[in-house]
A and B are shown apart, each in its own frame.
Chain A
Amino acid sequence: MFPNAPLFPERASAMAAEVDHLFFASLGIAAFFSLLIASFIVYLGTKYRRRSADEVGRPPRPESRATTVLEVTWSVVPLAILIGLFVWGARVYFAISRPPADATEFFVVGKQWMWKIQHPEGNREINELHVPIDRPIKLTMTSEDVIHSFFIPAFRIKQDVLPGRYTTLWFQADRPGTYHLFCAQYCGAEHSKMAGWVSVMEPHEYQAWLAGETGRRAPAASGADLFAAKACNTCHRPDTAARAPILAGLPGRPVRLQDGRTVIADDGYIRESILDPQARIVAGYQPIMPTFKDQLSEDDLIQLLTYIKSLRPPGDDPSPIAASAAPRASRRGARR
């Protein structure tokens, strides 16, 4: 009827199909019960319609066992359906929320009113995201100001993007094309303009696209420069003069703190350790690190984070970046 007015969204990932199946099942249940109630109302309302002004209803059954059985039935049957939906919904949600370990990491910084995106190869784009098909992509996202939300309807995924912390989103596109990208969390005057496109490309097209940008620099390489420029390497160094924990191999590992707690050194912890080093001190070290709050932009932090994550402890295959730009880790420190 209206050629340009779709009634169902495009589907461009396997996850989207999972969500759609769940949606259709619950829609079926909703439609069934809505129609059931509506038909009962119309049927009973017509069959027992009042035929004379003073007519009254038939005597109600005394509250018998049959009544209780009925009440229990129409409580338990919905409950069983609800439990089923809950379990199915939670499974899909867990799959949406947990990126696979081999996902390629992209970075997203939201600000009023644009999305700044950086590829692992260093390419940068605004309000556009080019991705290769059939490869799991993980977005690590943060905001420079208010809360935003990264929403790609064709993948059926969405995640709020918060200032002061990292959130993640992942997908694996399976159909080439161009799809809407929206900001879904109200963020001020031009909220509805904070939108763009996700382009899913064949691998060779993607490589060509990547190569098209000149002057790009991989975030880990910029991070290495920054690491030196901010003199981080005067303390975080692999030799005996180290006055701070060795960073190679740290990300993702448990860290013992001075107060006896153990935390996982995830992105959020590393971020906090840079901006507010006194918050959680590693056991065995002095709280001597100065804060870098207000000295580093969100973008700088991402470069540093990528660099730190690219460092390999001795024994691992050295990553090319770590080999070229970072002081090599010569021996493992007394990190506890």
Chain B
Amino acid sequence: MTGAHAETGAPPRTHYLNASYGIRSWLLTTDHKRIGILYLISVTFFFAIGGLMAVLIRLELATPQGDLFQADVYNRLFTMHGIMMIFFFLIPSIPAVLGNFLIPIMVGARDLAFPRLNLFSWYLFNLGGLFTIWALVHGGVDTGWTFYTPYSTTYANTHVIATALGIFIAGFSSILTGLNFVVTIHRMRAPGLTWFRLPLFVWSLYATSLIIILGTPVLAITLLLLAAERIVHVGIFDPALGGDPLLFQHLFWFYSHPAVYIMVLPAMGVVSEIVPAFARKKIFGYRFIAYASVALAVLSFLVWGHHMFVAGMSIYAATVFSALSMLVAVPSAVKVFNWTATLYQGSVSWETPMLYALGFIGLFTMGGLTGVMLATLGIDVHVHDTYFIIAHFHYIMVGGAIMGYLGGLHYWWPKITGKLYSRFWSRISAMVIFIGFNVTFFPQFILGYLGMPRRYHAYPPEFQVLNVMSSAGATILGVGYVIPLVYFIWSMRYGRDASSNPWGVVGLEWETTSPPPTENFETTPVVTRGPYEYPHRQEDPGAR
């Protein structure tokens, strides 16, 4: 692909979407692309529930008095918001939707290594979701998504077990997907596709899969122990039964800190695809970005204690965890600097996916740097469990992971559906989301340093102005999320047909048709170069 490219083109006669029809052909499909779409529908549904909870939370917090809901309703709302968003949206979003669709295509394979297992994962995921929604409908759960003991094992009288079971089941879906990706990436690469010719998206999902496979079983064990204590009163975590409540926190964060990287590494992978694509330039420091993904995966397992600096852990342990947590910033910074450097002497187009990717870089940088502040022991003591933490992890999760997910969705949408969406509205939505996000979460940093604790249903009146700002921002953010839903659905029916390579970029996925055929490629591609080899502009002496 050199020079001229066409945005639109006639769709192929048959492709994976029209290869067969009927509900059965979807529910029993083993095509990774269709399963990706199934996941897209599921996670959008769970995102909508989690988002609705967020709206209600922000509505309650618009006034200092707890006047909209009862305290225990509010507690159920933030608990379910966290559980839905983390376990049923953020963790599966990029891997299960975009990863499912793209990994086999990016490695030049026909499907994932275990297609039926892939479908089974989707069913497990929904089964887990159903348990959780059952719990929600029957009164919810009020422990916070962190399930801290002994509150969750002895004191809470809500649906802890049903919810934990839902998360437990969804965890296995995660593990199976991770396993599928690892095997596929190891065993099914096209001829000539060496490790260092893999797109960085594949590298980052490989690192993510390793975390999923190694970390999720620990969460499963933790939830089982929690259930054992809650149901049969085996003393594990509750001191009244002879247990240790900090043990739960160690086990929980041993998974849940790496889970942060399960959520953000894939988004980094997406950004590593979008930035070179819209700068039409080879990514700067390919190997460094690839190694940084692996370094983040390894380090993510060594820093869980930074959630426990004021929990009653030994101060020497806290010191070690602080030092290790600082190290996480290095590979993160390496990525950010390399993405930025890629723009240098590129041909930068501010298309919608690029807006999301650049938004990601900015917001992730802020999230990461406030993370450094939290890793600094003396600061964390004050801001731990305040809105500073809330703001920080929403910069990583929403500003990072969701911006990455939406960027990826916009980038690959023409490939997934074969349709083009509105350029105008998509740019508007990217900007509305960026502004809405910052108005929502920036005031929370200030609130946190002021000392407003998290999970407060009512708060002192001097915090109201900042809370109203945050709630107003959430409204803007909500609108920003609805716009893409509208034009994406609209595009499926009325959008113009996309060419096989509407952005004029390189990558195996752009060498097949849009949408791709069921078998992805008519003939197995042979790879002879790296993933971001753009044809160069002729050297001209009057260089800009």
Contact = CB atoms under 8 A, between A and B. Distances in A.
Interface of A: 2, 4-9, 18-19, 22-23, 26-27, 29-30, 33-34, 37-38, 40-41, 44-45, 47-51, 53-60, 67, 70-71, 74-75, 78-79, 82-83, 85-86, 88-94, 96-98, 112, 145-147, 149, 151, 153-154, 156-160, 162-165, 167, 180, 182-193
Interface in B5-51: 5
B310 interface: yes
A95 to B, nearest CB: 8
Nearest to A60: B282
Contact of B381 (A4, A26, A93): A93
A4 B345 contact: no
Contacts of B288: 71
Interface residues of B, number: 102
Contacts of A33: 333, 365, 369
Given A33-B369, A58-B345, A186-B455, A165 B239 contact: yes
Contact of A153 (B66, B312, B450): B450
B464 A5 contact: yes
B378 A159 contact: no
Residue of A29, A151, A165 with most chain B CB atoms under a 10 A cut-off: A151
Interface stretch (B114-122, B144-152, B256-264, B423-431): B144-152
Contact of A57 (B4, B464, B536): B536
Among A18, A67, A185: residue with most chain B CB under 10 A: A185
Given A164-B239, A180-B451, A192-B456, A5 B465 contact: yes
A145 B155 contact: yes
Contacts of A51: 347
B142 A160 contact: no
B435 interface: no
Contacts of A75: 330, 333-334
Interface in B337-376: 337-338, 340-341, 343-350, 358, 361-362, 365-366, 369-370, 372-373, 375-376
A48 B278 CA distance: 11
Nearest to A154: B451
B102 interface: no
Given A37-B365, A189-B72, 14 more contacts: A19-B382, A26-B373, A41-B340, A54-B504, A79-B330, A83-B326, A85-B376, A88-B376, A147-B151, A163-B150, A164-B240, A182-B451, A189-B75, A192-B453
Contact of B369 (A9, A34, A112): A34
B288 to A, nearest CB: 5
Given A57-B536, A89-B322, A96 B347 contact: no
B381 A163 contact: no
B387 to A, nearest CB: 11
A5 B381 contact: no
Interface string B196-235: 0000000000000000000000000000000000000000
Contact of A149 (B310, B382, B463, B537): B310
Interface in B296-353: 309-312, 315, 318-319, 322-323, 326-327, 329-330, 333-334, 336-338, 340-341, 343-350
Contacts, number: 287
B379 A19 contact: yes
A180 B451 CA distance: 9
Nearest to B340: A40
Contacts of B281: 56-58, 60
B509 to A, nearest CB: 19
A58 to B, nearest CB: 4
A86 B322 CA distance: 7
Given A33-B365, A82-B326, A83-B326, A158 B245 contact: no
30 contacts: A29-B369, A34-B366, A40-B343, A45-B343, A45-B348, A48-B343, A48-B345, A48-B346, A56-B535, A57-B281, A58-B537, A71-B338, A79-B327, A85-B326, A89-B322, A92-B378, A93-B309, A93-B319, A93-B322, A162-B246, A163-B238, A163-B239, A164-B240, A165-B239, A184-B384, A184-B453, A185-B148, A186-B151, A187-B151, A189-B72
Contacts of A67: 284-285
A231 to B, nearest CB: 25
A88 B465 CA distance: 33
B279 interface: yes
A94 B75 CA distance: 34
A240 to B, nearest CB: 36
